[in-house]
Copies of this chain bind each other. A is one copy, B any other.
């Protein structure tokens, strides 16, 4: 999408409309985030003044475990409670948004005409700061727009997916029987980020042993104290709407624990620290990038090519120049 930036109406209007829940305004603000717009700073300042109350729920898991179906089922469940729901579908491996990620979510079409539901996909677009930079800012937009719940769905189980999912208040990790997800999960550090495990497609063979494997791995996790949250393992068959009540109950229980234990505030501070850090790193990267084509970096590169200088010593000189 290549919109003329803010031609039709100005930023204050855009922010005001987003606050009123205007889907088009929300969409344009997220596009500003995605494109790293120069107006973003102003937009974020306007949005920061009145934070909302959105509950952020992350969903992650390997392709094929049923993330889209589970997301659709959760949307329906929250809507039944009369809550406004936004879905942010994030694909860290793709430089493009839209397309496949939303194309195959047939069940999402049930919600397409519901004004209490907003669905948006987002990709890294090769922006300097990547998704660590853009996702918290997109969440800020959705929070300010007054959504009660934001579901952040990622496509895989890589490092980037784990990072994105861990921005949430509550992180769901989906596995399916017989996919060897257990070992995969342990590898990707998913055990640490999961607040609730969902064994989806639980009507298939091996669901019980998958749940048992997960329970065993959780029991081996080191450093867990009695007062810490114990991630429950919920079995669902999302495609048949089975287990959804259990899942909603697990989500509510975690939410209660977050509030009572003071962890909700702690998690939001960590999310804010992540956001600030990502913006600061991007600003410093931009400063360094601005040196491209300049004399110093070009000269250092020439010396490195000639073997007169090693790249670390060259980098030291660059850092000294930027932070001078």
| Chain A residues with a Cβ under 8 A of chain B | 40-41, 44-45, 47-51, 92-96, 124-126, 136-137, 140, 156, 158-159, 187-188, 265, 268-270, 272-273, 275-277, 279-281, 283-285, 288-289, 292, 297-298, 300-302, 304-307, 309-316, 318-319, 322-323
Contact = CB atoms under 8 A, between A and B. Distances in A.
25 contacts: A45-B313, A48-B307, A50-B307, A51-B305, A93-B158, A94-B158, A96-B187, A269-B298, A269-B305, A270-B301, A272-B301, A273-B292, A273-B298, A276-B314, A276-B318, A277-B297, A279-B311, A280-B288, A280-B315, A280-B318, A280-B319, A283-B319, A284-B288, A284-B322, A284-B323
Contact of A315 (B96, B279, B302, B310): B279
A181 to B, nearest CB: 15
Given A49-B307, A270-B301, 18 more contacts: A41-B310, A44-B311, A48-B310, A51-B306, A124-B159, A269-B298, A272-B301, A272-B302, A272-B314, A273-B298, A276-B297, A276-B311, A276-B314, A276-B318, A279-B311, A284-B288, A284-B319, A284-B323
A315 B276 contact: yes
A312 B41 CA distance: 6
Contacts of A276: 297, 300-301, 304, 311, 314-315, 318
A304 B51 CA distance: 9
A168 B192 CA distance: 38
Contacts of A45: 310, 312-313
A186 B161 CA distance: 26
A55 B124 CA distance: 32
A57 to B, nearest CB: 18
A308 to B, nearest CB: 8
Contact of A304 (B275, B292, B323): B275
Nearest to A292: B273
A125 B96 CA distance: 23
Given A275-B311, A301-B276, A93 B93 contact: yes
Nearest to A304: B272
A18 to B, nearest CB: 15
Contacts of A309: 48
